Amino acid sequence: NAGVTQTPKFQVLKTGQSMTLQCAQDMNHEYMSWYRQDPGMGLRLIHYSVGAGITDQGEVPNGYNVSRSTTEDFPLRLLSAAPSQTSVYFCASSPSRVSGANVLTFGAGSRLTVL
Amino acid sequence: KQEVTQIPAALSVPEGENLVLNCSFTDSAIYNLQWFRQDPGKGLTSLLLIQSSQREQTSGRLNASLDKSSGRSTLYIAASQPGDSATYLCAVGVNNNDMRFGAGTRLTVKP
């Protein structure tokens, strides 16, 4: 089925470890983004990309890296995990480079726990 | 900084009732406003997108309104059903590529 695929669905890390959350979409969407969702708070934008080779920071980028080498993939890297990065992470995509021009399609989420 | 608030945090209604979910935002200079539905353990599903120049959007039993001057949006759900039980999130577009989300209203529709 077409859509946004995130892996892994669950991950437990120790403080200081690094890992990559994968996001892939097969809809040829130009815009892709990563959000984190914490209890009692709205989703917050971490990083986004408006096309291959183009990335930019969102509201809470510290501690995370991204790259966009292909249209389909937008991985999120945690360089040195901290307990404050315990959260549910969502990847989203949109056909347009302007995210607000079209509805966002979200992945199912990746739940990360940092001990 | 744009702040988005959704009150109440939780709402329980009997099946068949018409209901209104509220969303307020602090800065009226918005790009657009979207309402999403989130089921437990799942991603978000976009329900309605209202552009800044629009006043409302309708889809089936759902109607969303936007009043930028007062910093408010409402999501009206007609003839609620148990399948409508979910968390509803409001998100305000602050520019071309960033949105501010509310914390959501958790709706329970009792049979």
Q: What is the DSSP string of A32-76?
A: EEEEEE-TTS--EEEEEEEETTEEEE-SS-TTEEE--SSSSB--E
Can you give the pLDDT at residue A114? Answer: 97
What is the spatial distance between Cα A104 and Cα A95, in angstroms, rounded to a whole number?
8
How sure is the predictor about B41, in pLDDT bands with cuts at 50, 70 and 90? confident
B37 touches chain A (CB under 8 A): no
A1-10, pLDDT tens digit by residue?
679 999 999 9
**Mean pLDDT over residues A87-107, rounded?**
82
Query: Which residue has 């009206």 as its token pair?
Result: B76
Which of A23, A99, A102, A111 best probes binding to B when mutated, by most B CB atoms within 10 angstroms?
Answer: A99
B2 touches chain A (CB under 8 A): no
What 8-state DSSP symbol labels residue A3? Answer: S
What is the spatial distance between Cα A59 and Cα A78, in angstroms, rounded to a whole number?
16
Q: Which two tokens stand for residue B75?
A: 């999501």
